[in-house]
Amino acid sequence: MSGSDKAGMDPLAKKALERLLKSADKHGAGVAVRRPALTSSALAGYHALRGLKEKENFEAVMAYGQAEGAIKVQRPRHDPQGLIERIELVDVGKLAQLIGEVPHAARVQVAKQTLSAHFVAYPVLLDVLSSWEKLKKIRGTGPEDATNWAMACDVIAYCQTQVALGATETPVRDASARLFKDSKCIESLLARVDVLLAGNIEDDARPEAEVLQELGLYREQQPTRMAGNIVVRRERGAFPLDRPYCALPSSTVLGLESMPRQVLTIENQTTFHVWARQHWDSDVLCIYTAGMPSPAWRAMYTRLLSELPAATPVLHWGDVDEGGFRIAAFLSRCAAEVGHALLPWKMRPADVPESQRREAPPRTVERMVKYADEAGWNDIARELMKAKLVAEQEG
């Protein structure tokens, strides 16, 4: 059957074969037990045809498919010329070729080859492929989207290189135009970038602005919010923070003119605002991270901590979930670079009210424990392993 013949294939016959291919894909993926076949219910449309010509057109396609070794056609034993009552799959590759499609398993194999160069840097891609094999989409994508996942890997690598060169804040469309010659391309890849950065296919999607921030990109630059009765050294002088808080470009915050009793970072905006209203006149320097902080924020953070005495407590307060402990692990590394150990604030399972607790899936618990250990909070890691809960900071 030539390409033109396929284009002119009887529509009802093609629809039936497409259904058989879909069933074959499910069987191959292990999500369906029954062997792929079209039974009387699937052939009801064919059985209902009234015109002889229409039936002959349908049967001609099936006869050709059987001759090609793609399918096996069964008619009643007592009536070899009767209506087709069952069509069984013989060869999924030949069936797909017959209707101009590609089997799901073959598409996954192509996706694996496309992404293989990125498996070491992003092991989560193995989970993505495993899900695709089972016909599960990840962030609305399937194996046919593998090239875009590879491009998402390229976005992260490009941004990391830019940050290493000192470009900690870049307009996203400028970066996209340089990298892909398409100013909107990076924004179309952010759902995939989010998964790659988090390293987990089960995480809830983060706001796009937060994903961009982690990369050092922005649509609109966001200032760093800081609270406390603290004098901060800036490009044009040293000034006390406004009340209840002050919002400053991260790059303009150069150091401290007064020493805080402790430094507290807060992951979520609502919690930061509540703290700022209550403690704006305290000698605690409170800084809002806005989720995973940006490269510019991280550079500012290490500048400030580097001026503190080693005995000054440095704390973090975030969500008791995978994302919260991932941020804590990252901040812990930043603090360690300048001689400080990050301490937890209200992030123990015991700190979470019963009414705010939600059961955590085993994979989430595993990764929370991993990040808590990376933060140096080994006792909290053990508590998380027992408690198996998640909770948002606002609770």
- CB contact set of 35 (below 8 Å; sequence gap of 6+): 27, 88, 89
Contact, 363 vs 357, CB < 8 A?
no
Q: In angstroms, rounded to a whole number, what is the distance separating the alpha carbons of residues 139 and 128?
A: 10
Tell me the HSE value of 88 on the side-chain side, using a 13 A CA sphere: 6
Where are any strands of DSSP class E within the chain?
37-38, 71-74, 86-89, 170-171, 217-218, 224-227, 231-234, 237-240, 246-248, 253-256, 262-266, 284-288, 314-317, 342-344, 358-359, 389-390
Q: Which residues of the chain have pLDDT under 70?
A: 1-7, 393-395
Single pTM value for the model: 0.82
Q: How is the chain split into domains, by residue range? A: 3-101, 105-218, 224-390
Whole-number pLDDT of residue 4: 39
Whole-number pLDDT of residue 21: 93
Q: Tens digit of pLDDT for each residue in 129-176?
A: 999 999 999 999 999 999 999 999 999 999 999 999 999 999 999 999
Whole-number pLDDT of residue 232: 97
Whole-number pLDDT of residue 240: 96
Q: In angstroms, rounded to a whole number, what is the distance separating the alpha carbons of residues 33 and 250?
A: 57
Q: Of 369, 366, 301, whose CA–CA distance to 334 is shortest?
A: 301
Contact, 303 vs 350, CB < 8 A?
no
Whole-number pLDDT of residue 15: 94
- CB contact set of 348 (below 8 Å; sequence gap of 6+): 380, 383
Contact, 251 vs 235, CB < 8 A?
no
Q: In angstroms, rounded to a whole number, what is the distance separating the alpha carbons of residues 370 and 378?
A: 9
Q: In angstroms, rounded to a whole number, what is the distance separating the alpha carbons of residues 330 and 370?
A: 12
Q: Tens digit of pLDDT for each residue in 332-343?
A: 999 999 999 999
Determine whether domain 224-390 maps to CATH 3.40.1360.10: yes
